[in-house]
Structure formats: structure tokens, C-alpha cells
Amino acid sequence: MSTTIIEAKANLDNALNAEGRQIPLSSVQITDYDHRQTVGKITVDNPKMICRDVNVYYTGKQALKHVSIDIGANEVIAFIGPSGCGKSTFLRCLNRMNDTIPFCQVIGEIKLDQDDIYDKSIDVVQLRARVGMVFQKPNPFPKSIYENVAYGPRIHGMVDGKAEMDELVRASLERAGLLKEVENRLSEPGTSLSGGQQQRLCIARAIAVNPEVILMDEPCSALDPIATAKIEELIDELRENYTIVIVTHSMQQAARVSQRTAYFHLGDLIEIGETDQIFTNPKHKLTEDYITGRFG
């Protein structure tokens, strides 16, 4: 007799609630592999997030090896690397998105300002309000444009009354560069927008709860060049108020939007440096081979 997905989810939730973030993993054998030393300066003067010796295991298989890196306040940092290198895995550690994946274990220290985000006292819902996320495929809720943006502030109890909510929704859409295009159709479904507009709606939704950090997992890979340019312009503007971590397969995009770039390879953080240094004069051979297209 197989369990339904809903039952499985309930079981998982129970396990999560009972054990804090720990899914029972005692039966899973963990194997550590050799890891490579990171080239470049991992620290910054004004860190927003500090990650030290972060390891991730999926059913005991090591997906991320001893990653240590600072993410500076108000910087755009890009994670690049071939598929399966661990860049998305690491990104998902930064707001505990990996918690929902069964048999995923995160070991190491990740701090947001002074707070250890994996501490038992941390409320994950609050954490994800502070560290928002935008995904590869635009995923607006099946609700109106207005409701998509209003949802977060409402569940977090951030506003009093309709007028204040209207103001917040408009401000968020404005900051996401979408207001002009949608102000006369706020009650239409979010899914009625074009792909690029939907992605900006998702960004508006993320910034509506006033996050400190925004994680972006290939935010432009489903968009055309013009929509991509708009998002990139937006990223540059958002940097004033937020810290942005972006995972991208497009090296040109990483070069255009970020100040620092980190190169991952088979779970190792190989190299971290100023973006123009990484793309003109990388120090590690693996970085050079990747950016020049020499992987055979």
C-alpha cells in the first residue's frame, strides 16, 4: 500500500517539526571527498552573510564541499559553474530552501548579519522574508497581480488597512519596474502577463516583504534578450537597497550584473574574485577552462 503524496508530505512535516530541521539521517552514511582550496579572497569588508565550511549532502552524497565565502552588503555576487557544480545547492542553503528536500543535510555555518540561520531558534518563514528568492521559471500565484504582491506583506502582518497595502503594492511594482505596464490591470491574473513581466512580478513579490537579501536562481534563462535586459537593469537598481546573489549559466550576464563572481566546480568553490578579474584574468585553470569554453 503506497502512501499518497499528501500523506508523505505530512509525514515529512511531522518529522521536521519533531526534530527541528533535522530529518532523521542517522541511517545515512556520509562520505567526505577530497576538496580543492579556494583561490581568491573569500572575505569582504562589510559582509551581509558569512558562510564558513558549508557542506551539503544528498542522502550522504556530498554535493558541496567545505565552501567558505562572504557575501557583501549591497553587492551583486554571481555564482557560475557547469551543471551539477553545486551553485544552486549553495544558493538554496542561504534561505534554507534545502530544508524541504528529504535526506538533504547541511553542515557548516551560515550567518545573516549576526544570526546563525540554521540555529533552532530561527523561524524559517521569517528567514525567508529576510532572504527572498526568485526562481528560474516565473511562478506567479494563480491570483491577481495585486494579490501576488500583497500576499507576503499580508501573511507577515506588515501593513494596516487597505490604503497602506495599496501603497506597498504600488511601491513594490514600481521598484520592480512593472507598475507602468500593469497599473490599470491590477485585478487581472498574474499569469496573464508575459514571461518577462511575470518574472518582474515575482521580483516585486519578493521585495514587497522588504527583504535584506534576494537570491536569484537563473532569473533570466526563460526570457528573451529585451526582458533579460530589463531584469538586469533592475538588478543594478535593486543593489542600492538589497544584497543580491544570482546563479546564472550566462557568463555574459554574470559579467554584466555582478561585482564579484564565484566559480564552482563539482561541489568545490574553486575561485572567487572581482568580476572583471575572473573574466579577464582568472587564476585557476578550471575557471579559465570554463569561461573560455574549454571543457571537453
Partner 1 sequence: MAISHDAHTVKQFDVLLANLRNLVLEMGGLVEDQIKNAIQALDNEDVAAAREVIARDQIINGMQVKVDEDSVSLIALRQPLGSDLRLIMSLSKIVTDLERIGDEAEKIARMTVKTYDGVSSSPSAKLLRDVHPMSKLAANMLHGCLDALARLDVEKAVEVAKGDDELDQEFQSALRRLMTYMMEDQRTIGHAINVLFIIKALERIGDHSKNIAEYIIYLVKGKDVRHVKMDVLVQDALEEE
Q: Which is nearer to partner 1, 57 or 279 (CB)?
A: 279
Q: Which is nearer to partner 1, 200 or 265 (CB)?
A: 265
Q: Judged by CB under 8 A, which of 152, 153, 196, 282 binds partner 1?
A: 282
DSSP for 18-64, written as a single string: HHTT----TTSPP-PPP-PPPBS----SSEEEEEEEEEEEETTEEEE
CA separation (Å) from 184 to 64, 69, 140, 170, 187? 46, 44, 18, 11, 8
**Size of site (CB under 8 A) for partner 1:** 19
Under the binding rule (CB under 8 A), the answer on residue 263 touching partner 1 is no
Shortest Cβ 80–partner 1 spacing (Å): 11
Under the binding rule (CB under 8 A), the answer on residue 296 touching partner 1 is yes
Q: Which residues contact 14 (CB under 8 A, 6 or more apart)?
A: none
Under the binding rule (CB under 8 A), the answer on residue 280 touching partner 1 is yes
Q: Which is nearer to partner 1, 109 or 289 (CB)?
A: 289
Q: Judged by CB under 8 A, which of 5, 125, 162, 295 binds partner 1?
A: 295
Shortest Cβ 37–partner 1 spacing (Å): 14
110-139 binders of partner 1 (CB under 8 A): none
Amino acid at 62: Q
Q: Are 213 and 49 in contact (CB under 8 A)?
A: yes
What's the grid cell of residue 228? 533579460
The 8 Å CB, 24+ separation contacts for 181-188 are 182/145, 185/145, 186/144, 186/145, 186/146, 187/144, 187/145, 187/146, 188/144, 188/145
200-259 binders of partner 1 (CB under 8 A): 251-252, 255
Look at residue 173 and give its three-state secondary structure: helix
* Chain centre to alpha carbon of residue 290: 22
Under the binding rule (CB under 8 A), the answer on residue 291 touching partner 1 is yes
Span near partner 1 by CB under 8 A; candidates 47-55, 193-201, 232-240, 288-296: 288-296
Q: Which is nearer to partner 1, 142 or 293 (CB)?
A: 293
Residues that bind partner 1 (CB under 8 A): 251-252, 255, 279-285, 287-289, 291-296
